[in-house]
């Protein structure tokens, strides 16, 4: 089983060893500040990072970069759409130079346009970006919460965007976003509905990653507020139901829960407790 957390990069080269310290064996990072368009790259630090990756033995094919929050591949504003494509291209290039396999992105927000128009723009952006990006890095479309004009809040939409792009993209399931959009992973029925929808659309083998987050709000309220594992409306029992399905065991789990390394270590311990109670060997 693979588990880890979204790690701060202060500095980048500390991430692999801090991951082991909190009980993880994988992680997610931002390549730099996710709220600034400016792009920079510290070659020395990346070199050190790669050394630390081999020292710790963390498998880089289970690690992802989360693209900047500024990226909106669905934006109807030409300038933002162009900037978004450039930034995503750069994130893929950085992942390549870091030796990491995945870049995860939120498809985008329709900002007043229709969902169909938004999906069409996302698809076009993906095909333009991937056309001249490193082939060893995979792009992941993350399921989002159905709030604020977000597109990609179910697997029908994600599949449609992927198909229209004509590219081989894969997907990230986020347990908080899904819950926020009505996928009840706490119940048997809810889990079966989710797995059936995935089977009918993108296929389980295309779910490359999972963001493991509890939810501060009840199901289907469209708020997208992450909570620590076991402390929200999904709760230990909900995650216990989720992990009772073997098909999710091969997906790396990455926390995007509140707090820093200390809190993440506690949350990872909670997840491991759930696994042991289900007889799942790590």
Out of Zn ion, Mn ion, none, which partner does residue 216 contact, by CB within 5 to 8 A per kind? none
Cα separation, 279 vs 185, whole angstroms? 19
Out of Zn ion, Mn ion, none, which partner does residue 211 contact, by CB within 5 to 8 A per kind? Mn ion
- Which CB sits closer to Zn ion, 96 or 222? 222
158 touches 107 (CB < 8 A): yes
Residues 6+ apart with CB under 8 A from 155: 143, 171, 197, 198, 200, 201, 202
Pick out residues in 137-156 that bind Mn ion (CB under 5 A): 142
CB 66 → Mn ion: shortest distance, Å? 6
- Which CB sits closer to Mn ion, 52 or 234? 234
Site for Mn ion contains 6 (CB under 5 A): no
Pick out residues in 201-260 that bind Zn ion (CB under 5 A): 224
- Which CB sits closer to Mn ion, 241 or 257? 257
Give the burial class of 85: count Cβ atoms within 10 A of its Cβ; 0-12 exposed, 13-18 middle, 19 or more buried: middle
Give the burial class of 168: count Cβ atoms within 10 A of its Cβ; 0-12 exposed, 13-18 middle, 19 or more buried: exposed
Site for Mn ion contains 211 (CB under 5 A): yes
Question: Would you state the structure tokens that stand for residue 226, as one six-digit string?
Answer: 């992450």
- Which CB sits closer to Mn ion, 52 or 252? 252
For Mn ion, the binding residue among 93, 170, 174, 214 (CB under 5 A) is 174
- Which CB sits closer to Mn ion, 71 or 274? 71
Residues 6+ apart with CB under 8 A from 192: none
Omega before 11 within 30 of 0, i.e. cis: yes
CB 2 → Mn ion: shortest distance, Å? 16
Binding site for Zn ion (CB under 5 A): 224
């Amino acid at each position: 089983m693979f588990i880890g957390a979204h790690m701060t990069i202060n500095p980048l080269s500390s991430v692999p060893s801090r991951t082991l310290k909190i009980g993880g064996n994988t992680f997610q990072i931002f390549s730099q500040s996710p709220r600034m368009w400016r792009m920079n790259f510290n070659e020395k630090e990346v070199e050190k990072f790669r050394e630390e990756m081999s020292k710790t033995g963390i498998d880089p094919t289970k690690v992802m970069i989360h693209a900047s929050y500024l990226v909106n591949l669905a934006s109807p504003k030409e300038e933002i759409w162009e900037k978004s494509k450039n930034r995503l291209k750069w994130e893929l290039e950085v992942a390549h130079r870091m030796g990491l396999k995945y870049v995860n992105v939120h498809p985008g927000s329709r900002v007043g346009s229709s969902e169909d128009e938004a999906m069409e723009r996302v698809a076009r952006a993906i095909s333009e970006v991937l056309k001249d990006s490193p082939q060893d890095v995979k792009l992941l479309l993350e399921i989002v919460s159905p709030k604020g004009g977000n597109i990609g809040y179910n697997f029908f939409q994600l599949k449609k965007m992927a198909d229209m792009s004509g590219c081989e993209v894969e997907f990230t399931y986020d347990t908080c976003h899904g819950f926020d959009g009505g996928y009840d992973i706490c119940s048997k029925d809810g889990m079966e509905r989710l797995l059936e929808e995935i089977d009918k659309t993108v296929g389980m083998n295309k779910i490359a990653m999972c963001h493991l987050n509890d939810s501060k709000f009840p199901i289907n309220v469209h708020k997208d507020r992450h909570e620590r594992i076991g402390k929200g409306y999904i709760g230990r029992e909900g995650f216990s139901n989720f992990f009772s399905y073997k098909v999710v065991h091969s997906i790396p789990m990455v926390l995007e829960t509140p707090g820093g390394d200390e809190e993440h270590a506690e949350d990872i311990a909670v997840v491991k407790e759930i696994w042991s109670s289900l007889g799942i060997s790590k």
